[in-house]
Amino acid sequence: MDSAMRDDVTAPDDDVPPALADLLAALGPGDPQPVGRFRVDVATDTWWWSDEVYVMHGFSPGEVVPTTALVLSHKHPDDRERVARELAQAARTGEPFGSMHRIVDASGVTRTLAVAAQATHPGGDLPWAQVVGYFVDLTAAHAEAARREATASIQASDASRSVIDVAKGVLMASLRIDADEAFAVLRRRSNVANVPVRELSRRLVDGLAADGDEPDPLVDKDVRRRVDAILADAGASHDERTGAGA
């Protein structure tokens, strides 16, 4: 389909709908996201897409004729019904809307789009003859956010494992037990005190280091007594905060 055929449906003007302005403001600073325009004639179900929207859906500009059926067929199955409802409501009531949803492009790649649209009435019998709006491709931004979140989770997990490993080492040396037995001690005391193993381990390590450098369990004659006291205190502190036993 050539560009002349696609231009049978007039492109939307360059006025930015308030819903899109709010959406772009919410995205904040950073790398600009790909933005494409669309327009649908409510009476004829005729769509116009800018070149960017074709690309978002995995097509070359003019490769397909956009229709409501085609648009909805590319929505992610979990989001399709909601998007159809939003479009229908905009056409019926004229209310602007903005939301995010996923699509599956022509290559089978799932992408995340934001849409901002509003109904207009440039003339004709219908009270709201057109729905015009914009798609914003947030796929790259979402991937980067997911990467940062995953990195933070891994770092938090590593930190958690680190303090647990230190606590296990203290117990292994002071109680003369192996790693599995040390973790069993932590887990058992965690259950009794209703304190997460990570938090219990942190209290143990911090408690032993409270008077200065972390003591060496192999040379500190009182370390076993201190370990027992800290583990017992963890449960007592929890009971005091929660009112248990009152």
The dihedral built from the CA positions of residue 140, 146, 148 and 154, taken in this order, carries a sign that is: negative
> What is the mean pLDDT of the segment spanning 63-73?
92
208 or 136, higher pLDDT: 136
Q: What per-residue confidence (pLDDT) applies to 123? A: 57
Considering the chain, what is the average pLDDT of its residues? 72
d(CA 178, CA 163): 17
Percentage of the chain beyond pLDDT 90 is 16
Number of other CB atoms surrounding residue 143 within 10 Å: 11
Beta bridge partners of 35: 136
Give the pLDDT mean for 86-105. 83
* 3-state DSSP assignment of residue 100: strand
* Angstrom distance (rounded) from CA 39 to CA 128: 13
Task: Using alpha carbons, select from 237, 242, 177 the residue that is nearest to residue 202.
Answer: 237
Q: Which domains does the chain have, with CATH numbers?
A: 3-137 (3.30.450.20), 145-242 (no CATH)
Is the confidence at residue 174, as pLDDT, over 90? no
Residue 219 — pLDDT band, cuts 50, 70, 90?
Answer: very low
Please give the full DSSP string across 192-234, using - where no structure is assigned.
HHT--HHHHHHHHHHHHTTTSSPP-TTT-TTHHHHHHHHHHHH
Q: Which of 126, 104, 107, 198 is nearest to 160 (CA)?
A: 198
Q: What is the pLDDT of residues 109-122, one digit of tens each?
A: 998 888 888 887 76
Distance of alpha carbon 29 from alpha carbon 214, whole angstroms: 45
57 pLDDT more than 60:
yes
| pLDDT score recorded for residue 90 | 80
Interval 200-211 mean pLDDT:
73
Confirm if 6 and 65 have CB atoms less than 8 A apart: no
What whole-number distance in Å separates Cα of residue 37 and Cα of residue 134?
4
Mean pLDDT of 216-230: 53
The model's confidence at residue 205, banded by pLDDT at 50, 70 and 90, is: confident
CA distances from 98 to 39, 86, 109, 172 (A): 15, 9, 23, 58
Report which listed range, 67-71, 89-93, 158-162, is most confident: 67-71
Could you give the CA distance from residue 44 to residue 192 in angstroms, rounded to a whole number? Answer: 69
